[in-house]
Structure formats: C-alpha cells, structure tokens
Amino acid sequence: MKNKLIIASMALLGTAGLTSCVADTEPRLDKPTEFVLNMPALGNQLYVFDADASGKSINDITFTVSQPNYGVAATPVYSVQVARSEADFAKWDEEQKLPADPDTPDAPEGDGTRAEGDYTGLPLTAMVDQTTTNAVITLDGEKFCNAVNAVYGLTMENVKDQPHPVAVRVYAEVENAPYSGIWSNPITIKVRSYIKPVPDKIYIIGACQGWDISKDAMYLEETEIGNRIYVGDYTIPAGQFMFRFYDELGSWDHFSIGSQVNDNPIDITVNGEAITELPEDGITLPCLQEVNGVNPKGSWNIPDWKGGKVHIEVNLNTNEVTFAAGQAKKIYVVGAFTGWDINSNKFALRETEEGSDVYTGTFTIAAGDFNFRFYRSLGDWETGSIGSQEPDAPLPISVTSAGTTVPAVNGKGNWQDEGWAGGDCSVSLDLNTMQVTFVKL
Amino acid sequence: MKQYKIFLAALAVVGLASCQQDVGDLGIEQKNPKETVIEGGSAVTVNIAEAIDGKTIDLPYYMSINTVGFMVPVVNVVPSENCPADAELSCVMEMAKDAAYTNAVQVALADNSAEGQTGYQFAASPSELNDAFKALFSQYVVSATPVYVRFAVYADIPTEGLATGTNVRFGGADYWYLSDRQLQVLPVAIPGLMMGTPGADGKDAANSMKLVRNEGNTSIKEYNGLVYITAPFTFEAIGSDLRLGMESEGVASAASTTPITAPSGAGLYYINLKEDGDNWAYSLTRVDAIGCIGDFNNWAGDAALTPNADFTVWTGNVDFAKEGGWKFRMNGGWDINLGGDTMSNLSFNGPNLPIEATGTYKVTLDISSLPYHCTLEAL
C-alpha cells in the first residue's frame, strides 16, 4: 500500500510538472497598467531641427521608455504621437470610439487625423510615421517634424523659425495582442521645426499664357533646391513666343526677370537673322534681375515663331537664359545598321505630335543590315523592347516601296528583310495600334 | 517495481526542471531609468572674451589685419558637467540698440578655440560685425557706440549609428546668456561717404555735423549738409586722410589748413562742397527758416518750424488738412529742401513725403545726425 501511494504521488508530481511546462512555453502577458516615457535629459532645452544646404533634414530626436509592466519580457512596437498640448491628448482620447470590450481596446488611429481640433481646424494629434521595437526611440527629424507640422499647420510660408511646445506620448503594443496596448504618460518639449523645402519656381508671363500676372500655369523649376538654375519644357503655339519671367506673381513691377530694363521685347536672332524656330543646341542670352530697385521688364520675342516645343533654362547665378528646341519623345532603333549598340541614341523615331504616340524616322540601311527592333529606353537589352514577336528571334519581312505594315509587340524579335538591297527606309511606329510600317524610299 | 519508482521520480524531476528552463527563455525586459534633466542654461557658462571685455571693439583695426582671416574674439563658452560629453557647441550673438532688443540683429559666431583650450572661444568676422552694426544704426555712425549683446548657445549631439544628430538650444527657446551686456563698437567708416566739419561746433571730425556725398552726381565728388557753425572749421573726410582748409574765399584745398569762417556769423548753414580740379569749391548758405509745404496748403507758403538752441531739431504744429505729398524747405525757397521715401531717411531734393491721414501733427525735424529724419505726432 505504501508503495502504491509513493507511485501515485510520483506520477501525479510528474504530470503536474509537465503540465505546468505546457503553460510556461506560452507565457501570458499581463494587461499593462504602467508605461513610462522619460523626460529626456535635454527635455528642458529647445530642440532645433535644421536642414543642410540641399534642404535635407540633419537632425533627430531620441526618447526612452521602459517596457510596459507585462509581467514578462516582451517586444512591443512603440509608436509616437504628438499634440499641441497634453490637454489635446485627453481631448483626442475622448473623441475615440468607446471600445466594445474594455479588455481589448482599439488600437490608436494611424494618422491621427480622425479627431479635428475645435478651434484651429487642425488635427488634435498626429502619429510620427516611424515605429520601433527599441525602448530607446530615435526618430528621424523629418518624420517627427512632419507630425509637429501637421498639428500646428506649419508650412514654409508660416514656420518663421518660431519654437512650438510639443506634447509627446508613446503607444506600446505587442503584435497580435491588442489587449497589450497602452499609452505612456505625456511629456512636453519645445521644438523649432523643420519643413522640407520644395524647389523654387519662376513663372513664365507672356503671350503664351495670356499675359496674366497671377497665372501660375507655366513655370520653370529649380533643378536642385537652392541652386538657382531653373528649367522647364513647354509647347508654345505659333506667334506666341513673347514672354519674360517673374520670381513672384501678382505685380507687374516687382520680381521680374527680363531681357532688358525697358518694357520692350528683344527679338531673338541668330547671326543677326530672324528665326522661326530654335536650334536643338539652344541660344544662350543674358537676362537681368532687379537692379537697384529697377525691375527689368523686357521680354524675349520670336515674332514669326512657327510653334513647337521649347526647352528653357534660366541660370540666375550667371544671369543667362537658354532657349532650345524641345526634344520630342523618342523610340530608339537598335539593330545591325546601328551596330547593335544599346546605348546609342543616334538612331531614333520621333513622336510626330505631342501625345500622338506615333513615331517616325527615315534611315539609310545597307544591304544585309535590315535587321533591328526598337527600345523605349536605352541601356538595358531586357527593358522596353518593341519587336516583331516576344522571343529574341528575327521575323522575316519583305519591305516594298508601297509599304509593308506588320504588327509590333513588346518583345525582342527583330524585323529582318534578307532581300533588302540597301537604301533609305521610312519607318512609322504607331503605339496606339501596335503596328509598324516600313516603306522603301 | 523499484525500476518503475525510479522512472516516475525521474519524470517528476524532468517536469519541474523543464519549467525552470522555460522562465529563462523569456529574455530581458527593456528598462530605461528616468534621466537627469538638464535644467535651464546650466550646461555651459559663458563669459565675454578678455580681448574685448571692457574695451572698444576697434573694427577698423580688426579689418586692417583681417587679410589672414583674423577674427574678433567675443565669448568663451565652457561646458559644465551637465553638458553632454560629445556635444559640439555653436554660438549666436544678438545685437541691439536697446535693452529691449528691439529690431535686434544676429551674428553667427565662429569656433575660434585655441589648441588645448578649456571649452570654446567663439569669434566674429570683423566684416560681419561691421555689417550688423550698420544694420542696427546706419552707415553714417562712425564713432564708438555702445550696443547691447546677448548669446544663444547650441549643442549638436551625434546619434550613434546615424548620420543625423540631436540639436538643442541650451536653456530653451528664449534663453540668452549674458543678456543686457554692453559692448563698445567702433565701426568702419565708408571712405568718401562723408565729410566732417571739425571745429564748426567745437567738435572733432567724427562727432561734428557732416556733409554727405551726393550720389546723384557721378561725374565729380560733391557733398552737402546742414552744419551748425559757431567757430571757424575745416573739412575732414571721414574714413580717409583728406583734410581741406581755406585756400581762398569759396575755395578749399588739401594744401591749406586755414579754417573757414562762417560769412554771416554763428548759425545753421547749408554747405555745398564739390571737387574742382585740384581744389574744392564750397558755398555756405545761412538757414534762418525751415518750414513744411505740400498738398495740405496747395504748395503755397510754409508752415514754419521753430529750432532748438543749436538749430539741430526743428518743431512745429502743422495742420495737414489734405492728404498728399509734402516736404521741408529752407528760407522759403526751393534751393534747399528735404524729402524722402520714408521719414527716417531724408535727403536733399528727395521725393515728396506722404501724408496718409489728415489732421494736425506735431512735426519734428532732426538734423543732428545722419540720416536726417522726422516724426509726426498726431495732436
């Protein structure tokens, strides 16, 4: 009997031990009641967010927390919310829907825009678009400031380097365990925010846009922030090539950039001769900015402009403006007669009219060299090819002076005319119908 | 039976032991204790650099030796134990005319620390300091002048593993170190801009009433100005070595040191001085009356102003019954008149001043310093 009791006790103990092990391998998180966001050591100072010369944010900000009291070690995801004041957090909390089950509260809104401020029309809160599982939370300056700018409505126009109080709190939640979600205490710091600059613009004001000093439809944009080199491409209708530039809109007498001080146009010529179109390599002329309070109001003019695309570049460092013929969209020809050079732009079809998606060109092709396909872009044999068929194999055709029209597909098959005796060939590629026409000239 | 017991005992041990093992697998909780918050501006101490403390910052001197990039030492900044060890500091100086720091201007200081120095020394470029002084006062101030200064200190703290860093202004948004300190600054005069009249009112050239270059006359150098003359005087260019004495009546030259005497006794004079070959021609016109004229009186007659004792400030109540333009004119004629785009910058033959609201105003014209300026006080 004694042995039986011992055996029974041992069996019970073993079973209990193993049973408890099953529970231990899936530890249950306690519903947290405490989650502390520390006031940073620098929290009483002013956080300054600046940009480098190219406008890129160069600063960050770090907060530290301790893991919520889950009872066991866990890896929650931390996300940061900002507001104009700690009171706004409370308002935002009130505006959230009551959870159906108190034990499984809703996760916070991702963008913080659901609740609107009652007097500014701005969101009460905003989430920083960055999360981490590290309890040392280092936030990218741009992302943090985007949230600050959202709650304050800060823009390049109104930021004015003013410091703003920013309330901060952190939300922690273990993945797939909604009941583990908890907000930290809020803290308030002061921030001088960063706003990502946008490239500057200068506006084209002239006949081509109806001489409207308030119309911003035609503009040149800085190629890089702050470099004061502006470019733009526009189609200027026949007879409307007369314009100057303005750094700001709204006043004829301020911020103009012109060909001369006098309010008279200067005709663009080549070697003293009037022109009707622009050369592809462009014409570079001086331009004037405001001098001693005098705004140059002379325009540039091509009286008999026949119409077409124009590429314009204004360099306000050297005070030069370049007008060049605009480049039509191209489809490149790559084949035997081009030397099978995937990087050569010497042989191309040009779009007949902007937006038509019909491309034409004429090429001199030697006997035995009629073997080619097209590319939308150069540099990569595998990207953007237009050919006779998908497989990389030639499709025989016979080109006549009456014209030969065949289908085109996105593929690497060439068109090959083994009987081509040499001479000029006109090519017309219609990407609307995916057909190509070859005409022996 | 005995083997059975041993097996069960082992089962119990394995079961319990495996439980202890599982606890160890749970890892370590991430804990970050509360940080010690740096209070106010306690991270650094700031002191005026010895080179300028209690002395005049002689910008002409600093500019003369600035060909090798010489800087004006301004402040020493020493980090305290509260300052993050890896912080790189920078400093900005704010300058103003008054203790309220109205219309203050800022000058970014450069790190001028010597090898092995404790903390930092920050210094100003003499030309930037001179530009800031001119922005505060004017290009016409050439004597040593007190300015209020205060300093903001910034810390750039690198973030490990990132190209970015945390940047803070110590003390917070509105915290200034050494607020209300005053420095004495001697600015650099623009050569050829002004001509002093040393002796005219018992003052030296820098402190005398001056003539100003007429920029409208590009062919020859010409200066005009209103000077209160009580004694014989000479002309002395501000910012250059040119000195002119009377060669003969109406002619001045660098070869003469003879003082010029006012032709009609002590009083306020309009002086015109212009280059004439190797000599200079000058004329003095006594100004006995200054008045206001404009649309308010249909440009007919003057509303007279009354001078103070040394004729440098003229005041009077004027009824601007009509909106429009107006000017100051002297001796009831148009030969000598003052106008301007703004009331803070009047010039001879300047454009009409605007009057935007009708009413009676106390007009005050101040010609004691350049640029001449006036105020209107509604009555």
Inform me whether the pLDDT recorded for A111 exceeds 60. Answer: no
Residues in B touching A6 (Cβ below 8 Å): 5
Residues in B touching A73 (Cβ below 8 Å): 26-30
Query: Which amino acid is present at B349?
Result: N
- Do the Cβ atoms of A20 and B15 come within 8 Å? yes
Longest dimension (CA), chain B: 144
Q: Determine the pLDDT at residue A437.
A: 96
Residues A430-439 have a mean pLDDT of 95
Which residue from B36, B162, B167 is facing A138, i.e. has the nearest CB?
B162
Q: Determine the pLDDT at residue A212.
A: 95
What is the b/e burial string over B340-367, where b = at least 16 CB atoms within 10 angstroms of the residue's CB?
beebeebbbebeebebeeeeebebbbbb
Residues in A touching B31 (Cβ below 8 Å): 66-67, 135
In chain A, residues 180-199 whose CB comes closer than 8 Å to chain B: 190, 192
Residues in A touching B89 (Cβ below 8 Å): none
In chain B, residues 84-123 whose CB comes closer than 8 Å to chain A: 84
- When mean pLDDT is compared across A70-84, A370-384, B275-289, the lowest value belongs to A370-384
- Do the Cβ atoms of B169 and A10 come within 8 Å? no
Helix (H, G, I), strand (E, B) or coil at B83: coil
Q: Determine the pLDDT at residue A97.
A: 61
Inform me whether the pLDDT recorded for B17 exceeds 70. Answer: no
Provide the ipTM.
Answer: 0.74
- Do the Cβ atoms of B173 and A192 come within 8 Å? yes
Which residue from B22, B164, B168 is facing A46, i.e. has the nearest CB?
B168
Higher pLDDT pick, A224 / A408: A408
Q: pLDDT tens digits for A250-291?
A: 989 889 999 998 899 999 999 889 999 998 888 999 999 987
Mean confidence (pLDDT) of chain A: 87
B14, B22, B168: best mutation site toward chain A, by most A Cβ within 10 Å? B168
- When mean pLDDT is compared across A7-11, A363-367, B80-84, B132-136, the lowest value belongs to A7-11
Min Cα separation A140/chain B (Å): 8
Helix (H, G, I), strand (E, B) or coil at B244: strand
Q: Determine the pLDDT at residue B242.
A: 92
Q: Determine the pLDDT at residue A100.
A: 44
CA distance B259 to B235: 9
Residues in B touching A48 (Cβ below 8 Å): 154, 167-169
In chain A, residues 28-67 whose CB comes closer than 8 Å to chain B: 36, 38-50, 57-62, 64-67
Q: pLDDT tens digits for A289-334?
A: 987 677 899 999 999 998 888 999 999 999 999 999 887 788 999 9
Virtual torsion, Cα B234, B239, B240, B242, nearest 10 deg: -10
- Do the Cβ atoms of A15 and B32 come within 8 Å? no
- Token pair of A141 as six digits: 């300056």
Question: DSSP labels for A177-230?
Answer: -GGG-EE---EEEEEE--------EEEEEEGGGTS-TT--SSEEEESSTTS-EE
- Token pair of B61 as six digits: 């001197």
Local confidence band at B215 (pLDDT 50, 70, 90 cut-offs)? confident
In chain A, residues 148-187 whose CB comes closer than 8 Å to chain B: 163
Residue B237: exposure state from Cβ atoms within 10 A (0-12, 13-18, ≥19): buried
The number of residues in chain B equals 379
- Do the Cβ atoms of A40 and B35 come within 8 Å? yes
Min Cα separation A90/chain B (Å): 24
Which residue from B11, B14, B30 is facing A66, i.e. has the nearest CB?
B30
Cis peptide before B371 (omega within 30 of 0): yes
Query: Do the beta carbons of residue A33 and residue A180 sit within 8 Å?
Result: no
- Do the Cβ atoms of A39 and B35 come within 8 Å? yes
Q: pLDDT tens digits for A181-191?
A: 999 999 999 99
Q: Determine the pLDDT at residue A101.
A: 45
B11, B32, B218: best mutation site toward chain A, by most A Cβ within 10 Å? B32
Q: Which residues pair with B213 in a beta bridge?
A: B223
B290-378 matches B44-186 in CATH topology: yes
Residues A360-371 have a mean pLDDT of 93
Q: Determine the pLDDT at residue B2.
A: 53
Mean confidence (pLDDT) of chain B: 90
- Do the Cβ atoms of A66 and B31 come within 8 Å? yes
CA distance B229 to B231: 6
Helix (H, G, I), strand (E, B) or coil at B230: coil
- Do the Cβ atoms of B169 and A48 come within 8 Å? yes
Local confidence band at B125 (pLDDT 50, 70, 90 cut-offs)? very high
Interface membership of A130 toward B (CB under 8 Å): no
Interface membership of B12 toward A (CB under 8 Å): yes
Residues in A touching B30 (Cβ below 8 Å): 65-67, 73, 134-135
Residues in B touching A187 (Cβ below 8 Å): none
Inform me whether the pLDDT recorded for A87 exceeds 70. Answer: yes
Chain A residue with Cα closest to B34: A38
Which residue from B18, B29, B166 is facing A73, i.e. has the nearest CB?
B29
- Do the Cβ atoms of A44 and B15 come within 8 Å? no
In chain A, residues 62-101 whose CB comes closer than 8 Å to chain B: 62, 64-67, 72-74
Residues in B touching A58 (Cβ below 8 Å): 163-165, 167
A2, A12, A15, A44: best mutation site toward chain B, by most B Cβ within 10 Å? A44
The fold for domain B290-378 equals Immunoglobulin-like (2.60.40)
Chain A residue with Cα closest to B5: A7
- Do the Cβ atoms of A62 and B166 come within 8 Å? yes
Interface membership of A293 toward B (CB under 8 Å): no
Q: Which residues pair with A187 in a beta bridge?
A: A168
Interface membership of B24 toward A (CB under 8 Å): no
Higher pLDDT pick, B307 / A382: B307
Nearest to B88 by CA among B185, B173, B159, B176: B159
Interface membership of A14 toward B (CB under 8 Å): yes
Inform me whether the pLDDT recorded for A114 exceeds 50. Answer: no
Q: Determine the pLDDT at residue A412.
A: 94
- Token pair of A422 as six digits: 């040499």
- Do the Cβ atoms of A11 and B37 come within 8 Å? no
The fold for domain B44-186 equals Immunoglobulin-like (2.60.40)
In chain B, residues 154-213 whose CB comes closer than 8 Å to chain A: 154-155, 157, 159, 162-175
Inform me whether the pLDDT recorded for A20 exceeds 80. Answer: no
Inform me whether the pLDDT recorded for A22 exceeds 70. Answer: no
Residues A229-244 have a mean pLDDT of 93
Q: Determine the pLDDT at residue B356.
A: 84
Inform me whether the pLDDT recorded for B172 exceeds 80. Answer: yes
Chain A residue with Cα closest to B87: A42
Min Cα separation A162/chain B (Å): 9
Query: Do the beta carbons of residue A271 and residue A278 sit within 8 Å?
Result: no
Inform me whether the pLDDT recorded for A7 exceeds 90. Answer: no
Inform me whether the pLDDT recorded for B101 exceeds 90. Answer: yes
Q: How many CB pairs under 8 A join A and B?
A: 150
Q: Which residues pair with A188 in a beta bridge?
A: A167
Helix (H, G, I), strand (E, B) or coil at A337: helix
- Do the Cβ atoms of A13 and B12 come within 8 Å? yes
Inform me whether the pLDDT recorded for B25 exceeds 50. Answer: no
Residues A94-102 have a mean pLDDT of 61
Map out the domains of chain B as residue ranges. 44-186, 194-286, 290-378
Ordered domains of chain A (ranges, CATH): 46-192 (no CATH), 201-325 (2.60.40.3620), 330-440 (2.60.40.3620)
